[in-house]
Amino acid sequence: MFFLFVSLRTMGNSTHLTHFILSAYFDTGHLKYLCFVIVLLLYVLMLVSNVLLIVVICVNRSLHEPMYLFLCSLFVNELFGSTGIFPSLLIHILTDIHTVSVSLCFLQIYCLHFYGIVEFLTLAVMSFDRYFAICHPLQYNTHMTRNRISVMVIIPWFYGFLACAVMISLSSSLHLCGNIINKVYCDNYPVVKLACSDTTAVNIYGLIGTFNAIFLPLVFILYTYIRILKVCFSGSKQTRHKAVSTCTPHLASLINFTFGCCFEIISSRFNMNHVPNILRVFLSLYFPTIQPLFNPLMYGLNISNIRMCCRKLKPKWIQQN
C-alpha cells in the first residue's frame, strides 16, 4: 500500500515524468551475454549462500541463541537488498533498454536505503550482544531475554521502514527538470540533483538520516569494541579466544560494509566524470554486491557451530566420502 501511495503521488506531481534513463550503462556488444551470466551467477550465489545459512540457523535448536538470531536477520536483509537491485540489473544488461519507470525507480531507492539502514543497525545490535557476552558473561542469560532479543531484531527493520518512507515521500514531491541518472540503478541523491525546486528539506533530512543510520551506530560499535579490548587484555586466555572467534567476522563485515557505503557516497555525491566508466560502475555495485557474498562466507567459515551444523546437512554419501 505504501508503494502504491508513493507511485500515485509521484505520477501526480508537477514533473509529469514517466521514466528515468540510467546512463551509466555502456555498449558491450556480444559481451553483454557474458556479463549477464556473471551477474546471474553472483546473484544465485548470494541467494543460495544466504538462504542456506538462514535454514541452518532455523532448523538447528543449538543455534537458537541471540548471536545467531541476529545473524539470521542480517542474512534476510542481504537477500532483500540484493533482490532490490539484481533482477532489474539483469534485465537492463540483457535487453539494452536502460529506462525505468518512476514508480519502480523509487521502489528501488527504497529497497537500497532500507537495506543499508538495517545492515548498519543490525551490526550495531550484534556488537552490543558481543559486548554483553564477553564483558558481562554471568548476567548475559538473565538480561538477553526473548522479549529483549525480539525488540533488538525488530528495531532496525522498523526504523528502516519509517526512515525510508519519509525520505521517499520528500523526494517524490520534488519538481524534477531532468530524467537522466548517471548510475546503473536508481539512487536517491542523483534523483534529488535533478530537482529544480527547493531541496532544503530533503538535504537536511538526508544529513539527519546519515547521522542516525551510519555515524551513531559506528560510534556505538567503536565504544563496545573498546570495552571488549579492555576485558581481553585483563582477562583469561579463554576470554580472548572467545572474543577473537566471535568478533573477527563481525569486525570484518563492518569494515567491508563501511567501505561499500563510502564508495556509494563518493560515486553518488562527487563528480566522477574523470574516472573510467567501468570503474564507476564497479564502485557503485560494490555496496549492494559484496556484503551479501562476503557475510555468508565469513560467518560460515569462522564460526565453528555454523560449520558443524552445515556438515550435518550434507547427504550421507558425501559425508562418507
Pick the range with the lowest mean pLDDT from 60-69, 215-224, 225-234, 272-281: 272-281
* Domains of the chain by start residue, with CATH: 2-315 (1.20.1070.10)
| Average pLDDT of the residues in 63-72 | 88
CA angle 238, 129, 235 (to 5 degrees): 25
* Residue 82 amino acid letter: S
CA distance 268 to 55: 36
Instruction: Check pLDDT > 90 for residue 44.
Output: yes
3-state helix, strand, coil in the chain (%, to 5): 80, 5, 20
Q: Among 55-59, 272-276, 309-313, which stretch is predicted with the lowest mean pLDDT?
A: 309-313
Of 186, 40, 194, the closest CA to residue 106 belongs to 186
263/255 Cα distance (integer angstroms): 12
Average pLDDT, the chain: 83
Q: What is the pLDDT of residues 177-201, one digit of tens each?
A: 888 888 889 999 889 989 888 889 9
Q: Give per-residue pLDDT as tens, 95-128.
A: 878 899 999 999 999 999 999 999 999 999 999 9
In the three-class reduction of DSSP (H, G, I as helix; E, B as strand; rest coil), residue 270 is classed as: coil
| Predicted local confidence at residue 80, as pLDDT | 93
- What pTM value is reported for the model? 0.88
